[in-house]
Structure 1
Amino acid sequence: MSGLAVSDVVELALLLVAVGALSGFLAGVFGIGGGAILVPVFYECFRIAGVPLEVRMPLCVGTSLAVIIPTSIRSFQAHYRRGAVDMSILRMWWLPIVIGVVAGSVVARYAPERLFKIVFVCVAWSAAVRLILAREGWKFGEDLPNGLLMRVYGFCVGILSTLMGIGGGLFSNLLMTFYGRPIHQAVATSSALAVLISIPGALGYVYAGWPAAANYPAVAALQVPFALGYVSLIGAVLVMPMSLVTAPLGVRAAHAMSKRTLETAFGCYLLIVGSRFVMSLVGGL
């Protein structure tokens, strides 16, 4: 890790372990897979490590998707045991979501770095406004639609989640609450969608990152060994263990909160992480 002192390496490692604990907890609380916190923090870590700006954001997104795999499985299992997951939604959405993930991986191979930030900010802030200023009258309908529209929703969840490096909870939570579903059910079902998104999404970013690794030697090694395309295996290994430990704790906390408290907490969090990337788009950091 050229250019970094041993103390810097230790500091980065400890930060990633702490982030793993927090992302796992949030995966359980919000059903988001933890990606909405992982991407901003990975961004800071990779900036310190000297990863080129042109590829830093997709590297964060790909690594986040890899970390989400075990976290989302653990979170889904905990919610499923409580009987909170709507399996009918999964049966309708699984194929459109996977198709969306594949499309997002192809876009990631060719898209400019700024696109990832713009998508992250637009979606995070839109969801935050809906959650913080929620009104009972803000609905698309009394229940989720059937047929083509529902499958279009699934495709959009897949492609946007892949470009943001998240497990799909932002979109599925938003959609389900707009159609009158309880936030607790939305969170639980989103944890299952994260499994569908994270596995093919991480593989897609390995594929998408090969050309970048050839052009940017720092990406091929991430200033440390063991990076595959846009996935840093070192970052993933440091974050995963603690996220697995804390995900069930987050599930317990989610079911102990009131609907309004859960919505407000989620909305405030999204405003904060979206603001970080606005600063990056304006200042180039």
Structure 2
Amino acid sequence: MGQEPADYDVRSRRKASDVTAKVAVAEVQRVVVRNLRWSFIKMDGDNDYGVDAQVEVGDASGRLLALQIKGGRSYFDRPAAEGWWYYASATHVRYWTNYSLPVVLVMHHPDSDLCYWQLISQRNLVQTSNGGGKLLVPRANLLDETAKEALAAIADGGKRSDERLIKTRRRQLNLRQKLLMRYGTRCAVTGISPVELLEAAHIAPSERRIEHGVDDSALLRADIHRLFDAGLMAVDPETWRVVLAPKLHANPAYADLAGAPFAEGPSPEAIRRHFNEVTTFWD
């Protein structure tokens, strides 16, 4: 057999990188359209310096966000206490901070299929020695319906963005406290957990109400919450037991949760709505 050309490995790696990038864009599009219910406009061409997509916030609102989407394990190789550092060159920083729309960085992890976001702004960037910048992408900034209000506020811009983000966090903390009073330190799926790991999870998105009540929410361990919001886990409304997306069945960390009982308390209507919505996308 003939020997492969010297540049074969380079071309092979480039092809794999292109596939990873396309998967990341497709996953972000799925979340934006399904969870946020916003319009997603993919940009054409090589967007390493540009943006990968624009998102219209709301229904024909004219309020736009630009997304720079990155996918792959390498983007999660620089962990911080609250998330991960993303490093950008001076050229990238200038382009994104001078862009006509607010630019949001979204990082997609190929193993979990979860996406995390952060606004690219001078306020959030930390200057590096080479003149570029580094951006902290918080683990708490999961791209799902819980990010809807914060991203809408960014599209509105300015002081209003900060005020709405503060109000959103206060409401989330108040809801969490109410859930802790009702259920104690128990995750609805895994049972007793350290209180620091428990979060208030919205069972199904509320399209018309800003507030979520205790009856359409549950107390979930942080990682279970991420899977729930990402549409990888649901509760069968007939049996009230956990069902998993096919891709989790072979995952040793979560496969055993299939069939686990879900704590009683949340509204059956909310459970059914979430189940019907997410299982539609399962293979």
TM-score by length of 1: 0.25
Comparing both structures, which one devotes a greater share of its residues to strand? 2
Higher Cα radius of gyration? 2
Which structure has more helix as a fraction of its residues? 1
The TM-score with structure 2 as length reference comes to: 0.25
